[in-house]
Chain A
Amino acid sequence: MYLFQQKSFDKKKRTLIYFLVPITVYMLVFFLYPVLYNLFIGFFDLKLGGTAEFVGLDNYRKMAGDEQFLNSLITTMVFVFCAVSVELIFGLAIAGLLNSENKKMEILRTFILIPTVFTPLVAGLVWKSLYHPDMGMVSYYLRALGINIGRGLIVERHLALLSVIIVDVWEWTPLMVIILLAGLKSLPKNPYEAAMIDGAGAVQLFFRITVPLLKPTLLVALLIRSLDALKVFDIIWVITGGGPGTSTTVANLRIYEVGMNQLQVGYAAALSNGLLVVGIIVGLIFVKFIYSKEG
């Protein structure tokens, strides 16, 4: 009897392992292989449609002195930092406003989610039209309000990055709201009651109780958004194309340019591996924070 059970258990386990085979193979072929292939071609001077020549670490040496790429990394960092911090602050504020059992709040929550499903490319085209220097509605009414936008929001170098950050904030603050709202709803009520009896004000409650309790959710939300913001491509591609000049050229755009337009595939691979390292560092910093706080 025991033997029989053992045998059927082994059989069950074997069947379950078979269930895991397709996705493992799939990920190895279509995910891990391209990533490793990218590492590999980073060591070659490979031109699309041309020949490949092994150059060792030359591409990486070139990268270290490539001002255009290093500048695009800085632009990426500014973009990610500004967009994600604004999204966090707005997200927390809106989640706080929405955190109520009232039925009306649920309806509002539904509509706030719309930007997250809005096709990013369409969003880009809409905002590009709104920003149009002469006929865009946003440009027109900003000027009507007496705000100096020079020749136009996406024409002036110092305003272009801000303009695309606004679009990212519009698109992704709702995601922050939903994640933080779920976090807020799961907070225990007791600490609040105790603190209120002690006479704590709303501001104190927020900074002394809400923020510390919400910290794990805040960090995960920041991690998810930062990693996603590092991938930004569509909206910038459409709205500014990286310009004017290189003022909105984030690393993704620069790498795409090098690989797809200049056809220097090997060098583009090396650059994207450089970006990958940046992404890993960002991820590790967050993971360290998340785990150190949870003990």
Chain B
Amino acid sequence: MNVISRQSLLDKTLLASRIIILLLILAFIAFPVIWLLSTSLASRISMFKIPPRLFTGFKLDNYSYVFEKMEISKWIMNSILISLGTMILSLLLGVPSGYAFSRVEFKGKKILLIMILLTRALPTIVIVMPFRIIMQNFGLLGTRWAVILIDTVYNAAFTFWLMSGLFESLPKELEEAALIDGCGTVRAFIRIAVPLSIPGIITAALFAFILSWNDFIFALTLTSPDTTTLPLGMLSTFGILQQGWTHMAAMGMIAIFPVILLSLLLQRYYIGGLTFGGVK
């Protein structure tokens, strides 16, 4: 009896010390987030106080200021339109093709796969400048479409890869039964395969939204003042405001809020997407 209770006590202590170490790590991880929140609620003057402290005030002035005095509504709108556009286009391109890829053999299958996987490996800078010139030639430079089109390259590729892996693991029998019942291939796909793969579609949609919401370099090279996204807009005010960290922080909170909320709400899908690349 003594041995058992000592063992369980040891286990409990071990678990407790692991949790304490992890909480310390978590404090480091959370610190920039807490700083951002605290600064967004602070008054401007408190930023100049020495020693610097967290949570010197709780006012929403900075939030109302950025909405009243800056074009933040426009930037948010641009970010939303670009992220949603990318999400929809990526799903339209990636889901049916991922399905077909897992269901049919053809010549050049490997080449298509290599092209898709190359999107992940290629340094971004290689595509940024030629893409800018091409968009200029298409007359799309400075439009939201330019950013959507390039963000979709990456996200459609991810969707395709994720979905083809997922469809491969789904049994084909159900669709074959539907085909024999006189269902066309398209209907078998929409009625049977798509409903079974909703978790994968949610993951793909979530990633497309987060990645294009967080994008910087493509927005930097392809947008105009009218189509500026939120991160880029923030950067443009950082110089003007100089030490106006409080306004920057309010904008920063607005920028990270939707993506953090989505990743927490859809946590299972988010983790599924993150580990997919590592396990496959």
Interface residues of A (CB under 8 A from B): 8, 11-13, 15-17, 19-20, 22-24, 26-27, 30-35, 37-38, 41, 94, 97-98, 100, 102, 104-105, 108, 110-123, 125-127, 129-130, 135-137, 140-141, 144, 170, 174-175, 178-180, 182-183, 186, 217, 220-221, 224, 227, 230-231, 233-234, 237-238, 251-252, 255-256, 259-260, 265, 268-269, 272-273, 275-276, 279-280, 283
Contacts and interface: CB of A to CB of B under 8 A. Distances in A.
Q: Is the interface of A mostly helix, strand, loop or mixed?
A: helix
B101 A182 contact: no
Q: Which of A38, A180, A268 has the most CB of B within 10 A?
A: A38
A98 B22 CA distance: 8
A272 B131 CA distance: 13
A116 B256 CA distance: 11
Counting from the closest, the 9 A-B pairs by CB-CB distance are: A179-B278, A19-B100, A121-B231, A15-B185, A16-B100, A34-B130, A182-B275, A23-B97, A122-B252
Interface in B92-111: 92-94, 96-97, 99-101, 103-104, 106
A136 B189 CA distance: 56
Nearest to A271: B125
B256 A100 contact: no
B22 A113 contact: no
B21 A122 contact: no
Given A102-B15, A122-B256, 7 more contacts: A37-B134, A117-B262, A120-B216, A125-B252, A179-B277, A179-B279, A234-B216
Q: Is the interface of B mostly helix, strand, loop or mixed?
A: helix
A288 to B, nearest CB: 14
B97 A22 contact: yes
Contact of B186 (A15, A22, A120, A227): A15
Contacts of A98: 22
B212 to A, nearest CB: 11
10 contacts: A19-B189, A23-B97, A34-B134, A118-B33, A135-B47, A183-B278, A224-B277, A252-B125, A272-B129, A275-B123
A45 B88 CA distance: 39
A275 to B, nearest CB: 5
Interface in B119-146: 119-131, 133-134
B278 A108 contact: no
B198 interface: no
Interface of B: 15, 18-19, 21-23, 25-26, 28-30, 32-33, 35-36, 39, 47-48, 50-52, 92-94, 96-97, 99-101, 103-104, 106, 112, 115-116, 118-131, 133-134, 149-150, 152-153, 156-157, 160, 179, 184-186, 189, 210, 213-214, 216-217, 221, 230-232, 234-235, 238, 243, 245, 248-249, 252, 255-256, 259-260, 262-264, 267, 270-271, 274-275, 277-279
A170 B15 contact: no
Given A31-B115, A120-B214, A170-B28, A259 B36 contact: no
B253 to A, nearest CB: 9
A86 B15 CA distance: 25
A140 B36 CA distance: 17
A273 B51 contact: no
Given A23-B94, A119-B213, A122-B36, A114 B278 contact: no
A183 B264 CA distance: 22
